[in-house]
Amino acid sequence: MTNLVVRRRIGALFLTLSVITVSTIMGGVAAAAAPVPLSSVVPIPVSATATSGVTHTLTAATKIYAQSGSTPASDIGGYLAAILRPSTGLPLPVVPAPNSAPADGIALLLTGAPAAVGAQGYQLDITAANVTLRANQPAGLFAGVQTLRQLLPPAVESTTVQPGPWEIAGGHIVDYPRFGYRGAMLDVARHFFGVAAVRRYIDQLALYKVNYLHLHLADDQGWRIAINSWPNLAVYGGSTAVGGGPGGYYTQADYSGLVAYAASRYITIIPEIDMPGHTNAALASYAQLNCNGVAPPLYTGTNVGFSSLCVPLELTYTFIDQVIGELAALTPGPYLHIGGDEASSTTPADYTTFINRVQQIVAAHGKTVLGWHDVVHATPLPSTVAQFWGTTTTDSAVAAAAAAGTKVLMSPANRTYLDMKYRNNTRLGQKWAGLIDVNQAYGWNPGNYLGGVGETSVLGVEAPLWTETIRTTADIDFMAFPRLPAIAELGWSAYATHDLTVFKTRLGAQGPRWRVMGINYYHSTQVTWPAGS
């Protein structure tokens, strides 16, 4: 009989419980599942070498040692403990690491990592005696914690005590990202998603080392952030949604809370106000923003390209300056996204005038412009980043901009758009950019995809989730899983590791974890799921 001693604190007492492992009950012979292999981590690490026959087991004595004197390290220790305690029932105290590397427990250290892992990478050593995670910066510790988490059995994600054992395969991992920007976008304008839903998505993104969350905060159907100098934007412009539902918006306190929550997961939020098109909600909220002085009605359909801010009107730029000013003050990160897509109700000359002027406003507020790749038709500032959302592998204007130094964020719609259907009969989503199952989402190379846009021009990869047809967190889960981890891997892992067959098995191995986490994932037939998942 295999007994695992679990110490749980109940009130002021420590109770010692004996938990009989499931394998004992079911098989009679103690045949605990083998530890998760190092090779199953998503995104796949740069290098992972297993030490055969060695495992590390978490016990009631395990401590989490955090780099002494580092608040971020002890916060990351607390984050790890908060994930592990409910399922393991172990106390897992977070304590300052001694000066020399601890001989036991899990150590989160900001010393001794190889320079090659940079600011976001880490080194992880797992021996029978201890687990040692080293990074140069807290972001690297956080990334390494996600790897460690995936190396524990899926049941570790449970919110209730599970039998264990909590074994981790022995080995040595050195890991760092291919691209510094690995993003996801959530459209909270077509349907509004409240703070809890966005936090849930942030937590899911963190598990796959995504480090930017772009929030599409305003579109024709809704304006979702309170702007103090233009209050009607949120109150009226945010009052509905696609299909005519109730809408909603973030107060600035809500939004700051999201920014802080994301930061605690090493994710930077990028706010987007789409303009000059996709602005019906703003135009409906303030008649004086319209060229004819008449406010259009609120819009709850799904057409695009019919609205435009009034380019010749000086008030337009006062408005933008005040909106961008308030957003910049709420945004510790470097980027503000100005949209710029599908401005088919704006003349090309007006478009150029407008984008060039808005870039100056963003720069005056100390931020860097991100825009959909349409902005290359204006005159991008040297720092402006163009987000490619096309469906072809050639775009001469984007290639010319890249040749002139513009960095490109890769979101090809037929590869990365999480709102595309998986198959013709997928209940949710659209088809305009094609069907996207795992082969299609994973089977491309961001550094060598768009003609004339080589690896050095690519800032990173982002998976947008537009929400014309998406209403609930279960819908978000269904469209994001399993494709989001595929895109996250393209952003993190070296292209030399790219292998569709192996990836389908690694991705499938995440299924049991998603099940424990309550993620409503799509059971793609292209993924090799383990039996029973």
**Which residue ranges make up the site for ligand NGO (CB under 6 A)?**
304, 341-342, 372, 389, 417, 419, 430, 466, 468
Q: How far is the CB of 277 from ligand NGO (least distance, A)?
A: 9
- Residue with Cβ nearer ligand NGO (206 or 401): 401
- Residue with Cβ nearer ligand NGO (217 or 259): 217
The alpha carbon of residue 286 and the mean position of all alpha carbons in its chain are separated, in whole angstroms, by: 34
Q: How far is the CB of 436 from ligand NGO (least distance, A)?
A: 11
Beta strand 458-465 pairing with 407-410: parallel
- Residue with Cβ nearer ligand NGO (120 or 221): 221
Q: How far is the CB of 222 from ligand NGO (least distance, A)?
A: 12
Does the N-terminal peptide bond of residue 276 adopt cis geometry, omega within 30 degrees of 0?
yes
- Residue with Cβ nearer ligand NGO (462 or 468): 468
Facing residues of 147 across strands?
none
Which residue among the candidates 167, 272, 342, 462 is catalytic per the annotation?
Answer: 342
- Residue with Cβ nearer ligand NGO (164 or 429): 429
Q: How far is the CB of 107 from ligand NGO (least distance, A)?
A: 44
- Whole-angstrom Cα distance, residue 354 to residue 412? 25
* DSSP E strand boundaries for 242-319: 268-275
The sign of the CA dihedral 43, 49, 55, 57 is negative
- Residue with Cβ nearer ligand NGO (32 or 304): 304
- Whole-angstrom Cα distance, residue 277 to residue 275? 5
Cβ proximity of 273 and 227 under 8 Å? no
| Amino acid (one-letter) located at 23 | S
* DSSP E strand boundaries for 2-46: 3-10, 13-20
Task: Report the residue number whose CB is nearest to ligand NGO.
Answer: 466
Task: Tell me which DSSP letter residue 430 carries.
Answer: B
- Whole-angstrom Cα distance, residue 350 to residue 356? 10
Cβ proximity of 105 and 166 under 8 Å? no
Is 342 an annotated catalytic residue? Answer: yes
- Whole-angstrom Cα distance, residue 93 to residue 74? 11
Name the residue with tokens 């949120």: 234
Q: How far is the CB of 304 from ligand NGO (least distance, A)?
A: 5
Q: How far is the CB of 121 from ligand NGO (least distance, A)?
A: 31
Q: Which two tokens stand for residue 22?
A: 């499931």
Write out the catalytic residue numbers.
342
